[in-house]
Amino acid sequence: MGRGDLTGDEWARLAPHLPKSGRRGGRWCDHRTVINEILFRIRTGVPWRDLPERFGSWKTVYERHHRWSADGTWDRILQAVQADADAQGRIDWSMVSVDSTSCRAHQHAAGAPRRAPRIPKRRSLPRQHRPDEGLGRCRGGLTCKIRLAGEGGCLPLALLVTPGQWGDSPRVKRPRGGHPPTRPNHLGGDKAYSSRRNRRYLHRRQIKHTIPEPRDQRANRRRRGSRGGRPAGFDKEMYKRRNKVERTINRLKQSRAVATRYDKRAYVFHGTITLASIRLWCLPDRYRTEQ
């Protein structure tokens, strides 16, 4: 077993949720070998063609990662692994925090055609294709932003890829709608998430929250008097727990292909982050929470 490969415990948690067969009723190449090679690429950030020969054909690995990113297989596996963890009581719902992080996009991440990629009929179209490909131009060059919700044990619950210049407060519609399976006891966020719309949304969902109010919003509320509403409650001790989501982001960005984006397509980069999240969920309990 090579450095960074799936251990026996990790494979036991992941294997039951993998597809059973390939196209036309055939069998896939060994899942464990292919996923280990994808994880190697995510951890090191090497080009696909430079993958070690001990894993086999790089093209097989490349195509499977793109296919499973396009048809939502990685998303379904992450949801299944999270459902197993929830059934075993391994998710800390007492505090869920939200935050975002910017990722520099490599020059090879630019240049994707504006039109949707052509995919054979046997494969479903990428559900997360977008004309801007989640890339934005900032002062330092091309960037994208990962928006993340993390639970109290430093593990990611949900993520979204957007262009780097997008702010944190605008609410993004859920692509498939519906309600989450459960809701947190408390939600934490920094000043970037402070807005009347966000607070009203959380109030309707009966979700307690700890979000600091920026100075300009506080001054505007006081200037409006009674029409400005009541001051938002703020629990300093609860807010200290918001660093869990920052620690979750730090764990994800230890993978170089997450810290720096090399994928041209937004849905492929989303699949890269999703697989890095799956790896964290499959870790043994003694390694899951940072000390």
What is residue 234's predicted lDDT score, i.e. its pLDDT?
67
Predicted confidence (pLDDT) at residue 17 exceeds the cutoff of 90: yes
State the pairing for strand pair 186-188/208-210. Answer: parallel
* φ, ψ at 155 (rounded to 5°): -125, 145
Express each pLDDT in 155-185 by its tens digit. 999 998 888 666 554 443 444 444 445 567 7
Can you give the pTM of this predicted structure?
Answer: 0.78
The one-character DSSP state at 63 is H
pLDDT digits (tens, 9 = 90+) for 209-229: 787 777 777 777 777 766 555
pLDDT above 90 covers a percentage of the chain that reads 32
Cα–Cα distance between 43 and 46 in angstroms, integer?
9
Separation between Cα atoms, residue 153 and residue 85, nearest integer Å: 12
Longest Cα–Cα distance in the chain: 69
Answer yes or no: are the C-beta atoms of 169 and 200 closer than 8 Å: no
- Work out the average pLDDT over 28-41: 88
**Phi (first) and psi of residue 97, to 5 degrees:** -120, 150
* 217-274: pLDDT as tens digits: 777 777 776 655 555 666 777 778 888 889 999 999 999 999 999 999 999 999 999 9
Residues contacting 18, CB < 8 A, separation 6+: 31, 77
